[in-house]
Structure formats: C-alpha cells, structure tokens
Structure 1
Amino acid sequence: MSLKRYEGKIAGSYDLEETIGKGHFAVVKLARHVYSGEKVAVKVIDKTKLDDVSKAHLFQEVGCMKLVQHPNVVRLYEVIDTPSKLYLIMELGDGGDMYDFISRHDHGLEEETARRYFRQIVHAINYCHQLHVVHRDLKLENVVIFEKLGIVKLTDFGFSNKFIPGRKLETSCGSLAYSAPEILLGDSYDAPAAPPTFIHSIKVLT
C-alpha cells in the first residue's frame, strides 16, 4: 500500500530513531510504534537508486520473507510502499548480530550455547529449503541474537530466491568472504547444497 511519509515518521505510525545498519541501497533504523511503544527494526530502501536487477532482488526479498514464517527467522511485520522508499518493518533483536555477540566474548561462547544457537540456525535453513527458498547470504552478520529469549534468528533475505529442486541457479551473489567455491568460480550451483563458509566462521570464533 502507498502511504504518506511524515518527517521522522512512517505513515504516522512509527517514529524513526538512530541508524543501526547500512547497505548499498538501504539503511536499517531503530523505530518505535507511536501507540504501543514497541521497538522494531525498519529497513529503509531507496527505490530511486535501484536498477532492474536490484528491483528484482527486492521483490524476491519481500516475497521470501512473507513466505518464511519460523521461530528462528526474523519476522516481517509490515511493508509500507511510497513513491521513493520501501519500508520493511521487522522484529528487533536485543543482542545485535552474531559476529558482534561472539566478539564480545573474549574466550568464545560456551560449548552448550554455541551448540544451541548452531542448531537453531540449521533448523531455520532447513525450513527455508523445505519451502524451496534459498537465503544465499548466510553469514554471522545476518544472524540476529534475541538474548533475553535465548534464541537466534536468520535475517536479511536480500539475495534470497525460490528454487526448483534438481535445477541449478546461475546468479553469483552474496558476500565474497562467505561464498561457496562454486559461486566464487561463477559455476551454476545446486542452491541448497552450496555450503556457506560462515559455518566454519562460527566454529573458529567459538
């Protein structure tokens, strides 16, 4: 839906606060619902800077996030569309991302904690694959910590896509340091089978 945006607010419903993340065409801001006071994360996407490929990724991201409803995937509450911006209203974690969380522990995480979080990530990925959704940008920075709840959630589906079992994907995307070898080589790849190196990053940092 197209809604009027007021200065410092989105449709008069959310007060925008500080920026908590940045990307090429988007920023993530902390926001608060003006009536309930609930804090949320708002991904603000500048549509005027998007080319056709980026617009396609944006539609894929929204579609995949609407489809994937799982306790270990960040929930998309609402999508607000304006002529120049798209706002994705999402639930907010209280512990930052996994990279920062692990970095705050000088001696790494306790084995039981690392095992519990690792299990939750695998459950989220497996659920996505059951729905024929592949994330394609799995990394520590895209895992959000909900510290009070003792859980982690997968976020940022900007490179996600639907796949057909048995058919390989061609698009080389994601974060270079975490990409599978076949993606780095520019080969076609079996989406669910391409192993991200972020798995090894968790093992090293913990």
Structure 2
Amino acid sequence: MLDHISAFIRLMESTTPTLDPSIATVLSQLGQIVKKFRSETNGVKRFDQVDIIYVNNINSVLEIKQLLGRGDQASVSLATLVQSGKEVAVKMESKLMSSKALENFRREVNLLKKLQGVPHVCQMYFVLEDSTNYNIVQQAITGPSLVEYLEKTKRPFAEETAKKMARVLIETVIACHKRGVVHRDLKPDNIM
C-alpha cells in the first residue's frame, strides 16, 4: 500500500507542472506519513517496495516520440508525459525476460532509487508496468557525450572549464559512493 501511495505522490509531482497549494500540502503531509511509517518498520528494501504503477494502456501516460536505442533486452525511447508535456526517457523491458535479465532489471531499478536526489545523475521518476513491459521512466538527458563533444569541436576545454567538470565529476562519484553505489563504467562516453 505504501508503494502505491508513494508512486501516486511522485506521479502527481512529476506530471503536474504547478500544483494547487492545498493539494501540494496534502501530498507533502502524505509523504511524511509514509516516510515515518517506513522508518518505524526498519525501511526494509525490496524490489517490491520500488514504486511500480500498473497502467492498462501505457499511451494514457506516455506519448512515445522517438526510439533512441535498442539492446538485447530493452529499448529506450524519448517520450512525453501526457498530462504535463514533460519530456522523459523510457526504458522498456519485456516481461518475458529471462530470470537473469529480471534480476538485472531489479538491480538497476534499486540502484536508480538509491541515486534519487544525487545531483548530476540521471533521475528515475517512477516505474510503469503494463500488460507486456516494465517501463523505467526517467529524466531525459539531451546533448552529446563528452567524447562526441570533443570529436565535434576538435579542441580541448579551457583549463577552468576542465577543472569545473573534474570537480563536478569527483563530487558526483563521492555522492554515489556514500550511497553504496560504485559506477563500474565511468568513461567519457558516459558523461553528458
């Protein structure tokens, strides 16, 4: 039940650009109640406690705009939240995945949940489930990777810019480590 309440709160906050103050107050109070209850129950972390919202028709929530990439197990698309018009990225994984793929999916969702609120890390908004897929709805990051930018401009960054970027990168890695997450594929291709 707590998962459904939390998912509802996040869905409202992420899909409604400006909430009526009275609704925002109620959502905030509801969120505090959920937090308090979870802390009193030792905050057990399970995949089942990640907020998953079941929808009969994914198109009632998302308008898929463009396929960004496809792998063995999943595809990633650029989409828009129907209610707010907010641009998001959606990773769609078939429910017919192998048990190993399901475990990897659970691990990914739990890692993304651990990293919620960490600056400079792509944020997960919520997970949608429909009859055929699990859909991770997350922040859409646009623009080139660090490698693509350097290849396109064919010149190095100014020293001050490079220092600022290095500082942000180090601070982000430290923040991830404090939450028990180690990025095992840190490279210029994965920096936007």
TM-score (norm 2): 0.65
What residue is the counterpart of 2:78 in the other structure?
Answer: 30
Offset from partner CA, 1:156-198 (integer Å, 9 cap, x none)? xxxxxxxxxxxxxxxxxxxxxxxxxxxxxxxxxxxxxxxxxxx
Other structure's SS at 2:135 match: strand
**Change beyond 3 A, Cα 1:21–1:119:** farther
Q: How far does the alpha carbon of each residue in 1:103-160 deviate from its partner, in whole angstroms, 9 at most, with x for none?
A: 222113223222222221221111111111122222333223xxxxxxxxxxxxxxxx
CA contact under 8 A between 2:56 and 2:131: conserved in structure 1?
Answer: no
- Residue 142 of structure 2: SS of its match in structure 1? coil
**Equivalent residue for 1:109?**
157
* TM-score normalised over the length of structure 1: 0.61
Q: What SS is found at the alignment partner of 2:147?
A: helix
Tell me, what secondary structure is at the counterpart of 1:104?
helix
CA distance in 1 between partners of 2:125 and 2:183 (Å): 19
Identity of counterpart residues, as a percentage? 27
Asked which structure has the greater CA Rg, the reply is 2
What is the CA-CA distance between 1:58 and the residue it aligns to?
A: 0.9
CA distance in 2, matches of 1:5, 1:140: 38
Structure 2 SS opposite 1:36: coil
Distance 1:5 1:100 in 2: 37
Change in 2 beyond 3 A, CA 1:98/1:22? farther
Correspondence list, 1:148-159, <5 A? none
Paired residue for 1:2? Answer: 54
* Paired letter, 1:41: A
Matches of 1:22 and 1:112, distance apart in 2: 37
Match runs of 1:174-193 below 5 Å: none
Structure 1 residues 45 and 74: alpha-carbon distance in aligned structure 2, compared to 1, 3 A threshold: same
**Aligned residue runs from structure 1 range 1-206, under 5 A:** 1-6=53-58, 9=59, 12-48=60-96, 50-68=97-115, 69-144=117-192
- Unmatched tracts of structure 1, length 5 or more: 145-206
Change over 3 Å in CA distance of 1:86–1:119 after alignment to 2: same
Q: Aligned partners of 1:107, 1:99: CA distance in 2, in Å?
A: 11
Q: Give 1:103's aligned amino acid.
A: E
Whether the 8 Å CA contact 1:41–1:92 is kept in 2: the answer is: yes
Given that 1:72 and 1:123 are in contact with CA atoms closer than 8 Å, whether structure 2 keeps it comes out as no
Amino acid at match of 2:109: V
1:30-66 Cα shifts (integer Å, max 9, x gaps): 1112222111111112232x32222111111101111
**Matches of 1:111 and 1:21, distance apart in 2:** 34
The alignment yields a C-alpha RMSD, in angstroms, of: 1.8
Distance in 1, Cα, partners of 2:69 & 2:191: 13
Q: Aligned partners of 1:93 and 1:116: how far apart in 2?
A: 20
Q: Give the 3 Å change call, closer, same or farther, for CA 83–35 of structure 1 in structure 2.
A: closer
Q: Which runs of 5+ in 2 are unaligned?
A: 1-52
Structure (1 or 2) with the greater helix fraction: 2
